[in-house]
């Protein structure tokens, strides 16, 4: 018969197994999502060379055609989320727009400043932030209190912010 400590050990092992399975599943899903995005771009740019980079890179896709390089930063999102451009170099995801308050801690996007400042003198650079699979809206702060909703056809500092469902309309 199993005593308390044996049962506790089995439960802890089971929890760790579930965590490991979920981490592996999320990584596989991310890789599959990037491949799907790459295939979409390949249809739009059939002659382009498309490179995939990992999640921690400055950008996740690089599309090279002749003298133009398009950099795509993929931000995993949800259709209920909002992307907030607080200033030129800080972007955040609001994952709970209905429950937002001034005390809500933002989820900042890593490397947004470096992505905005990236240059390559040997190519004409186009930059896209792809919100995958979608987003409710992109909000840009004009000052401390005024905001505007960024439309898909608008760019901010030469960066196009698109949800995946708007991708083909604006390329």
Bridge-based pairing state of the strands 155-156 and 159-163: antiparallel
Strand partners, 132: 76
| Strand partners of residue 76 | 132
Looking at 45-169, list the stretches that DSSP marks H as alpha helix, in order from N- to C-terminal side.
112-117
DSSP code at position 95: S
- Which burial class, exposed, middle or buried, applies to 56 when counting CB atoms under 10 A from its CB (0-12, 13-18, 19+)? exposed
| DSSP notation for 114-141 | HHHH---TTSEEEEEEEEES--SEEEEE
pLDDT in tens, 95-128: 888 887 777 888 899 899 999 999 988 999 999 9
pTM (2 decimals)? 0.80
Q: How far is residue 136's CA from residue 134's CA, in Å, rounded to a whole number?
A: 7
Collect contacts of 119-124 with beta carbons under 8 A, ≥24 apart. 120/69, 123/64, 123/67, 123/68, 123/69, 124/67, 124/68, 124/69
- Asked if 129 and 159 count as a contact pair (C-beta separation under 8 A), the reply is yes
pLDDT at 44: 83
- pLDDT tens over the chain, length 171 residues: 778 888 999 999 999 999 999 989 888 888 888 888 888 888 888 889 999 998 889 999 999 998 899 999 999 888 899 999 988 789 999 988 888 777 788 889 989 999 999 998 899 999 999 998 889 999 998 888 888 999 888 999 999 999 888 877 766
CA distance 146 to 47: 43
> In 3-state terms, what secondary structure has residue 170?
coil
SS3 32: helix
Other CB atoms within a 10 A radius of the CB of residue 111 amount to 17
- Torsion of Cα atoms, 58 then 23 then 39 then 154, to 10°: -50
Contact 126, 70 (CB under 8 A): yes
């Amino acid at each position: 018969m199993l005593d308390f400590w044996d049962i506790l050990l089995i439960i802890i092992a089971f929890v760790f197994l579930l965590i490991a399975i979920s981490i592996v599943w999320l990584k596989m899903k991310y890789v599959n999502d990037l491949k799907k995005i790459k295939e979409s771009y390949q249809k739009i740019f059939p002659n382009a060379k498309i490179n995939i980079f990992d999640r921690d890179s400055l950008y996740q896709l690089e599309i090279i055609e002749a003298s133009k390089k398009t950099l795509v930063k993929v931000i995993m999102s949800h259709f209920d989320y909002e992307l907030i451009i607080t200033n030129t170099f800080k972007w955040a995801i609001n994952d709970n727009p209905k429950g937002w308050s001034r005390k809500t801690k933002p989820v900042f996007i890593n490397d947004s400043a470096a992505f905005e400042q990236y240059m390559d003198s040997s190519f004409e650079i186009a930059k896209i932030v792809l919100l995958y699979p979608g987003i409710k809206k992109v909000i840009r702060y004009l000052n401390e209190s005024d905001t505007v909703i960024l439309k898909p056809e608008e760019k901010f500092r030469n960066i196009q912010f698109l949800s995946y469902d708007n991708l083909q309309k604006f390329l």
